[in-house]
Amino acid sequence: MIDKIKEHIAEVEKFQAKTQDEIEAFRIKFLGKKGLLNDFFAEFKNVANDQKKEFGQSINKLKTVAAERVAVLKKELEGNTEVLGNYGDLTRPGDPIKLGARHPISLIKNQIIDTFTSIGFNISEGPEIEDDWHNFTALNLPEYHPARDMQDTFFIQTDPDILLRTHTSSVQVRYMEENKPPIRTISPGRVYRNEAISARSHCFFHQIEGLYIDEGVSFADLKQTLQHFTTAMFGKSKIRLRPSYFPFTEPSAEVDVYWGLETETDHKITKGTGWLEIGGCGMIDPNVLKNCNIDPEKYSGFAFGMGIDRIAMLLYGIPDIRMLSENDARFLSQFKSAL
């Protein structure tokens, strides 16, 4: 009988349970009113006197081991239940992760970059907080030049020579100072101008400007480059260049693409002409080359620039430029399919 009790003690010590029901069945089997312990206690009177002490000790040990095992198993199960309560069933599949969307500015910028890098342009970047030399003076805009009024500038009050860049042409100046021709680079980035905020304009926006300098570069090269871009970007190959003025290029021109007049929207965005302005361009002024230590007698080049925000508004039918900077998830979620 004592050997049988020892077998039950070994069984109790090895017992494992995963549910409360299994623990309760185990408790009833050993500690319940009709459990094995009561049966052994009932047999106590039939045990020989010389074995009663050992028999009693064995029963008490079985009772103690069974009670402790029940307490341990309940504590372990309660700990697991708390984890499940906090984190759910760990065996279940996780909740689906919401798919984000690229910002329309990023989508258009990447398209423009891909178009120009495919014909040999690299990418250059520079600081948004600039000095007067790189933003104005080196670009043929000396102090008190009236053309500076074309760009309402945010100056840093503590230092009048430090400002928020008004165009990414400052990046081109830095690139020309650090690299020798041939140069073929595009400079995307955010720029700042002190303008009234409305549906059509903002105090900050995004530009991308291109620069090509080498021996024998002509205006014809500029036109063909822009025609390649408009065909790849808009599917429109017909462009025109209208005379204009920019201090750092001579001659200078505005770039128009023929959008057509097939729909009411076409009439609206082109004001009934079919032509849509997309940017500015021109041959680099020799003074700019001199300021960047490039010999204008040997080298010539062209530059162009366009607003990324305006192109995004055009291609995606966005009516208000402020929507691009408000971070409204309802608006941005529309561009998931454009990933």
pLDDT digits (tens, 9 = 90+) for 202-252: 999 999 999 999 999 999 999 999 999 999 999 988 999 999 999 899 999
Q: Look at the alpha carbons of 7, 13, 14, 20 in this order and tell me if their dihedral is positive or negative.
A: positive
Q: Which residue has the higher pLDDT, 122 or 4?
A: 122
Region 113-122 average pLDDT: 95
Model confidence at 34, pLDDT cuts 50, 70, 90, reads confident
Region 260-281 average pLDDT: 91
Percent of the chain with pLDDT over 70: 90
What does the alpha-carbon distance between residue 177 and residue 153 come to, in Å, rounded to a whole number?
24
Residue 215, amino acid? E
Cβ atoms of residues 30 and 66 within 8 Å: yes
Cβ atoms of residues 62 and 94 within 8 Å: no
Average pLDDT across the chain, whole number: 86
176-209 pLDDT tens trace: 999 999 999 999 999 999 888 888 889 999 999 9
- Domains belonging to the chain, first-starting first, are 2-87 (no CATH), 104-338 (3.30.930.10)
| DSSP 8-state symbol, 285 | P
In degrees, rounded to 5, the angle at the alpha carbon of residue 187 between the alpha carbons of residues 297 and 223 is 60
Strand order across the 159-164 sheet: 129-131, 159-164, 155-156
| Residue 291 token pair | 């300021």
Q: How many helices (H) and strands (E) does the chain have?
A: 12, 10
Which of left, alpha, beta for 273 (phi over 0: left; psi -120 to 50: alpha)? alpha
Region 6-30 average pLDDT: 78
| DSSP 8-state symbol, 150 | G
Region 20-26 average pLDDT: 81
Q: What are phi and psi of 33, to 5 degrees?
A: -60, -30
Model confidence at 86, pLDDT cuts 50, 70, 90, reads low
Separation of CA 97 from chain center: 16
What does the alpha-carbon distance between residue 212 and residue 303 come to, in Å, rounded to a whole number?
7
